[in-house]
Amino acid sequence: MGSTTSPELSQFAEDVLRGLSSTPKQLSSRYFYDDEGSRLFMEIMKLPEYYPTRAEMKIFTERTDAICEAFTLGANGLDIIELGAGDGTKTAVLIDHLLNQDIDFTYQPIDISQEANDALSAKFRERFPELRIAPHTGDYFKVLDTLKNENGRRKVILFLGSNIGNFLRDNAVAFFRSLRNVMHENDRLFIGFDMQKDPRTIVAAYDDKRGITAAFNLNLLRRINRELEADFDLNKFSHYAQYRPMECAARSFLISREKQTVTIKALNRSFNFEQWEAIFMEISQKYTHAMIDELSGDGGFEIEREFYNEEDFYIDSLWRPI
């Protein structure tokens, strides 16, 4: 790639090269969320099969007082920092309550998609004219590092939607440790976990009848075509989802429907696919209580409080750094 390539694109190219050169082939789910990917995921969240959004929303609407009390206890002002806010529907419940309680706080969403940030900011400024909102576009940790010593107020970092489930365990621990490094003792992490449940419910959530999840996965091939000058034919790949209950893990793949060769000009490389060969796209880890306890400790945190939706098997957990 030429010297004019942006650092982010260089990292994208490097990760695509590494993933498609590995056995089995894989692509990183961190690159799903370009503008089109963000739009498709907002559609996914509205699907009847996609229960995590509703499960977490139930916690937010039924436990609003208790959640906000936990955020503010012992704090002198808040900076609520959300990683990948999406359309902000759940967070709006908390913001509305905090504003009505006249709590001193700012809301700072971080997203890699400028379009998603712009849409959320416009929506919230219209709905909450008095809200102090400061959106940031870019890598989570690069932005968080700039906010580390900003004003001495409590930072409450939101990582909702069980997005942590997209990380393999070692990567999840590394993610938490990186968060811990930009947090102070009085800061808090509020994180959503999708719990172990009926395997059929889980499979349906990642293989919806309308094919929106399939389009979401295939969109990453479209992004590679656009940004790295590849020639993936999306009609020659299909989406496949599975759930392994012994591992508590749902996985998504793209399957090559025929023997084919794909060329990526930006990498100056071609990649051969056998018929029915899979590209591993994403893991969606489900959790037990014991797994969450272990993960918090290994990541440098301890659980301060948990909010549990027993009907849908979903937890929002408030962690403090140790």
pLDDT for 1 equals 39
**What would the pLDDT profile of 56-105 be if each residue is shown by its tens digit?**
999 999 999 999 999 999 888 999 999 988 788 999 999 999 999 999 99
pLDDT for 112 equals 82
Which of helix, strand or coil describes residue 271?
strand
Report the chain (322 residues): mean pLDDT per 10 consecutive residues.
Answer: 50 95 95 90 92 95 97 92 88 97 94 88 96 91 78 90 92 94 94 96 95 97 97 98 96 98 96 98 96 97 96 96 96
Both ends of the chain: CA-CA distance in Å? 43
Specify the residue for token string 């800061």: 187
pLDDT for 149 equals 67
Q: Which residues contact 64 (CB under 8 A, 6 or more apart)?
A: 93, 94, 97
Domain ranges in the chain are 7-47+203-285, 63-197+288-321
User: Please, what is the angle between helix 35-44 and helix 114-127, to 10°?
Assistant: 50
Q: Which residues contact 25 (CB under 8 A, 6 or more apart)?
A: 19, 271, 273, 277, 278, 279, 280
pLDDT for 139 equals 83
Beta bridge mates, 82: 109, 158
The pTM assigned to this predicted structure is 0.87
pLDDT for 75 equals 87
CA gap 25, 240 in Å, rounded: 15
At position 229, the amino acid (one-letter code) is E
pLDDT for 33 equals 87
Which of helix, strand or coil describes residue 284?
strand
CATH number among 3.40.50.300, 3.30.420.40, 3.40.50.150, 3.40.50.11540, domain 63-197+288-321: 3.40.50.150
